[in-house]
Amino acid sequence: MLKILVVDDAIFMRSMIRDIFARGPFVIAGEAENGVQAVRLYQDLRPDLTTMDIVMPQMDGISALREIIRIDPAAKVVMCSALGQEALIAEAIEAGARDFIVKPFQPGRVLKVVQSVLGLDERLQPLVPPTHSGDAR
Ligand SMILES: [Mg+2]
């Protein structure tokens, strides 16, 4: 199982991400609600992948990302951003984030990013069943 660390100050966001990772070879190793907790948990848990919110109290996601990369330059951190945070995303990628996902999260897109960052076999896709929207195109 691949260990995931979920970092977001909003509890509903964390539970949404938890649900997305309920499919596939993942286990939620820990959850943090600010950057300080995130860095501490990263050190303890050494997750295979971390999802990192950007705007959080105490220590924001980009500062936490920098700390984590300092501890483990190979850390795989995916940023969680809101629309309109392109500049922050660019800063995070420069600081070592592997990729980003945009809120509101689409499970398929999140898993695609995660699989690509973790180098998982494409055959694992799709982990999310197709939605039957009636759009057959
Ligand atoms: Mg936030």
CA of 123 to the centre of ligand 1 (A): 33
In a domain, 40, yes or no: yes
Q: Which of 2, 89, 86, 5 is nearest to 44 (CA)?
A: 5
Domain count, the chain: 1
Contact 62, 90 (CB under 8 A): no
Which residues contact residue 70 at a Cβ distance below 8 angstroms, ignoring those fewer than 6 apart? Answer: none
CA of 56 to the centre of ligand 1 (A): 5
CA of 21 to the centre of ligand 1 (A): 19
CA of 61 to the centre of ligand 1 (A): 9
CA of 42 to the centre of ligand 1 (A): 18
Output the pLDDT for position 23.
Answer: 81
Quick one: tokens of 58? Answer: 């105490």
CA of 53 to the centre of ligand 1 (A): 6
In a domain, 128, yes or no: no
CA of 102 to the centre of ligand 1 (A): 12
What CATH number does residue 36 fall under? 3.40.50.2300
In a domain, 136, yes or no: no
CA of 135 to the centre of ligand 1 (A): 33
In which domain, by residue range, is 88 found? 2-119
Q: Are strands 99-102 and 2-7 parallel, antiparallel or unpaired?
A: unpaired
Report the C-alpha gap between 55 and 127 in whole angstroms.
Answer: 29
Output the pLDDT for position 135.
Answer: 47
In a domain, 21, yes or no: yes
Output the pLDDT for position 131.
Answer: 56
Report the C-alpha gap between 92 and 69 in whole angstroms.
Answer: 11
In a domain, 89, yes or no: yes
Strand order in the sheet with 77-81: 26-32, 2-7, 49-53, 77-81, 99-102
In a domain, 28, yes or no: yes
CA of 8 to the centre of ligand 1 (A): 6
pLDDT in tens, 83-121: 889 999 999 999 999 999 999 899 999 999 999 999 987
Torsion of Cα atoms, 121 then 123 then 125 then 130, to 10°: 180
Report the C-alpha gap between 105 and 13 in whole angstroms.
Answer: 9
In a domain, 129, yes or no: no
List of the chain residues with pLDDT < 50: 134-137
Ion ligand 1 neighbours, Cβ < 5 Å:
9, 53, 55-56
